[in-house]
Chain A
Amino acid sequence: MEKFTTHTGVGVPLRRSNVDTDQIIPAVYLKRVTRTGFEDALFAAWRGDENFILNQDAYKAGSVLVAGPDFGTGSSREHAVWALKDYGFKVVIAARFADIFRGNSGKQGLLAAVVEQGDIELLWKALEAEPGKEITVSLEDRTVTCGDITVPFEIDDYVRWRLMEGLDDIGLTLHNEEDITAFEGTRASWRPQTLPAKTEPKQEVVAARPAE
């Protein structure tokens, strides 16, 4: 994972609350088996509307999304993070994030910065007054700067450290593999195992057919 210290790029004001993951990337785009190439899927339904913010020239190159509260609610699809990243977003700013989305962001190097709603309103006004205006996000200082406005943001200390160091979770966990093995030795023997497989007797499943 790439190290993240500061980022400067075009800010995109998205005046919507509860932007759920079905809006960020509709389910129809989830059928791919790759981890990249989702840029066309980002906000696919909204991008059909010519007035949608990312269809306006000034915002097309956006890399810092400033959204309403409860961003990323709904499904656990990490594709939502991949789509934002593939489009070019490095930072999403909102007053509240859904837990799974925020977790997924941290693992993929997308910064989810929590900024108070009052400050979000200031950023929205500044970005709308001057479309295409740049925002600087400093992970080091935990600040968002847009013109003469500088506001603080919150982020979990550990996630911040991992992002700044560009560290991979699995590698960190496997450092402590002996702890995992020791824990496994304490598990009760009746805890279920999927193998060998046990099932009710096998039965034939008749295929449903389209109505006549």
Chain B
Amino acid sequence: MGTTLAEKLWASHLVRKGEGGAPDLIYIDLHMCHEVTSPQAFEGLRLAGRQVRRPDLTIATEDHNTPTLDIDKPIADLTSRTQIDTLRNNAKEFGIRIHSLGDADQGVVHVVGPQLGLTMPGMTVVCGDSHTSTHGAFGALAFGIGTSEVEHVLATQTLPLKAFKTMAINVNGDLPEGTTAKDIILAVIAKIGTGGGQGYVLEYRGDAIKSLSMEARMTVCNMSIEAGARAGLIAPDETTFEYVKGRPHAPEGADWAEAVEYWQTLVTDDDATFDAEVNLEASDLEPFVTWGTNPGQGLPISANVPNPEEIADADQREAAENALKYMGLTPGQPLKELEIDTVFLGSCTNGRIEDLRAAAEIIQGRTKAPNTRFLVVPGSARVRLQAEAEGLDQIFIDFGAEWRNAGCSMCLGMNPDQLKPQERSASTSNRNFEGRQGKGGRTHLVSPLVAAATAVRGTLSSPADLEGADTLVGAPA
């Protein structure tokens, strides 16, 4: 019987098979570090007198805490500054490559790895950040780890792990105009729930997935964790190879040919079976938005706020009641009538150049809603430089948006970019948890197209709602 892609990746990184109920020992090809989840791991190494086993398979950048304004000045928040200084000192002490604030390769860790060509098919990739699932878009087994595991990887370049189960997410058909990878993944999470993927590696398959660009595939895999799965995968193909080719760390010459030959074997065999399968028809999708306080509480944008009384499951009903109270919503309210105070375009989910291009195309020549703030935070300094080279920065600035430096920013509000209590956001990020974007802040997760249209109208909107929408690329055919 054949094997799935996830099982092939596992087998090719098996250092030692666990015996008598012990976990397998798995080799890690790339370990990325940032300032928030690493300090206690380095401290652990120091206390035990251990070294970093493979500094040449490790890289660090600063993202979670970094300000997006005045980055050439000392960081005003003292605890943030301490955390970043700690990372810099640890990188120096243990001989680890670091891209610091102000460096062209600084940015959100999951944007930086792929753009440097460090993320490739067939690898195992870890980071002390749950959105490490992003790198699965390349056909790599990539997952988030806790700080104890960060220390474990630093010391041994391996992790003891129990095998995952496998789940196929088949997305067939053609995605309608105006819908995006973000809408696919929000629909998947709404369908299987925030716990539906627990214990599984998700493999996204089907025509709708194959036709996505590499960056769109990263958006899909990025939010696998919001369905409870530690990792999401997409089998590598020509789109993947084309994206990797020529990047700074991509193999060259004979190495390239050898690598591609290997990468082409990284597919789920036709006769392999998954532990679970889920099917979704892409042509049925429309732009998706969340109404609640977990990413599974999402609906098509044309829907109304749900009525908890109509939810059969008691847990789900109570969760919905709590969510509506926190979000300040009434059952039956059309989602499109919700007024939005802040639009956030950015994050490891939707902070890449294609996301900025798509949003810029919608807003170009239009005017921002007067009471809506629009924050644009590129995923990395390179993305920002690329956008500036294309003139996108000027489109955003002319529209009335704030054009910022790179980082995680308002996705989790560890830096000064936060919502105020009761402020409502349309955010291209990945989590709508209570208080995530600032204490009392109310988050609606959206695609970059919905974010842009919302910034124009001031209420949750899709590009099709805009005047003259039929002339826009983002409009329905």
Contacts and interface: CB of A to CB of B under 8 A. Distances in A.
Interface of A: 15-18, 20, 22-23, 26-28, 30-35, 45, 68-70, 73-79, 81, 96, 98-100, 103-104, 107-108, 156-158, 161, 169-170, 172-174, 176-177, 179-180, 183-184, 187-195, 197-200, 202-205, 207-211
B195 A96 contact: yes
Contact of A194 (B15, B37, B57, B79): B57
Nearest to B411: A27
Interface stretch (B63-71, B234-242, B266-274, B303-311): B63-71
Given A23-B433, A78-B146, A180 B157 contact: yes
Interface in B48-107: 48, 50, 53, 55-59, 64-65, 68-73, 77, 79-80, 82-83, 86, 97, 102-106
B40 A33 contact: yes
B444 interface: no
A184 B435 CA distance: 44
A158 B24 CA distance: 11
Instruction: Among A33, A34, A35, A174, find the residue whose CB has the most chain B CB atoms closer than 10 A.
Output: A33
17 contacts: A20-B431, A26-B435, A31-B65, A33-B39, A68-B315, A100-B130, A158-B22, A170-B48, A170-B156, A180-B25, A189-B255, A191-B29, A195-B56, A205-B405, A207-B405, A208-B405, A210-B69
Interface string B398-434: 0000111100000011100000000000000001011
For the complex of A and B, list the 8 residue pairs with the smallest distance between their C-beta atoms, beginning with the closest.
A104-B146, A190-B255, A107-B148, A31-B79, A78-B146, A33-B39, A198-B248, A190-B251
Contacts of B414: 27-28, 30-31
Interface stretch (B114-122, B335-343, B350-358): B114-122
B128 interface: yes
A70 B228 contact: yes
A114 B270 CA distance: 36
A96 B198 contact: yes
B36 A30 contact: yes
B103 A33 contact: no
A211 B433 contact: no
Measured as residues with beta carbon below 8 angstroms from the partner, the interface class of chain B is 35 or more
A179 B25 contact: yes
B155 A174 contact: yes
B104 A203 contact: yes
Contacts of B322: 16
Nearest to A36: B40
Interface string B144-164: 111111011001111010100
Interface string B9-34: 00000011010011101010110000
B199 interface: yes
A180 B69 CA distance: 44
Interface in B323-368: none
B120 A207 contact: no
B277 interface: no
B205 interface: no
Given A203-B104, A207-B405, A170 B318 contact: no
Given A20-B294, A27-B413, A70-B194, A169 B148 contact: yes
B233 to A, nearest CB: 16
A208 B198 contact: no
A180 B59 contact: no
Nearest to A194: B59
A68 B83 CA distance: 34
Contacts of A184: 27, 157
A78 B435 CA distance: 19
B123 A33 contact: no
Instruction: Among B68, B105, B195, B256, find the residue whose CB has the most chain A CB atoms closer than 10 A.
Output: B195
Contact of A22 (B106, B381, B404, B434): B434
Instruction: Among B68, B83, B106, B225, find the residue whose CB has the most chain A CB atoms closer than 10 A.
Output: B225
Nearest to B251: A190
B385 interface: yes
A78 B86 contact: no
B259 A76 contact: no
Given A33-B83, A192-B29, 10 more contacts: A23-B435, A35-B43, A78-B148, A98-B228, A100-B130, A170-B48, A197-B97, A198-B248, A205-B106, A207-B73
